[in-house]
Amino acid sequence: MNLTDLNHLARTLFLEGVRAADPKLAVQRALTAEPLKVNPEGCLLVIAFGKASVAMIQQALQHIPAAQRTEAIAVTNYENAREIDGCRVMAAGHPLPDQNGIEAGTAVMDLLRSATKSDQVLYL
């Protein structure tokens, strides 16, 4: 194997590793392997944190049965924030926390406090 072949192999392995670690694809694989079922007695609370939270929660929402009552919140940095139907997206400072981060944390805690024993939580 020459240097060009080794370079190509190293690049291929690197890109495959990056693809395998893609958070959106990880959620898709997980929810395809273990589909969500309707919980008629309660609500599904979907919570995601981090730079990839918007992509992950968007993927998760596509896998939730239409009949399922759902509340969703994603907390991300300013650069990755965008509107998502059916989800409250909150942008906050990163890596330095700010007031929006405190408000987002409070919103998540309030959502979790509202949960009943019939509700389910999907944390991403």
- In this structure, the strands spanning 120-123 and 88-92 are unpaired
- What is the count of structural domains for the chain? 1
Confidence of residue 20 (pLDDT cuts 50, 70, 90): confident
**Which of 59, 22, 55, 49 shows the shortest CA–CA distance to 123?**
49
Each residue of 44-57: pLDDT tens digit? 999 999 999 999 99
**Cross-strand pairs, 71:** 45
> Rounded CA gap, 41 and 36, in Å?
14
CATH number for the domain spanning 101: value is 3.40.50.10180
Q: Could you list the residue range(s) of the whole structural domain that residue 35 is in?
A: 3-123
- In this structure, the strands spanning 70-77 and 120-123 are unpaired
Each residue of 76-100: pLDDT tens digit? 999 999 999 999 999 999 989 999 9
CB 70, CB 46: distance < 8 Å? yes
Strands (E), 8-118: 44-49, 70-77, 88-92
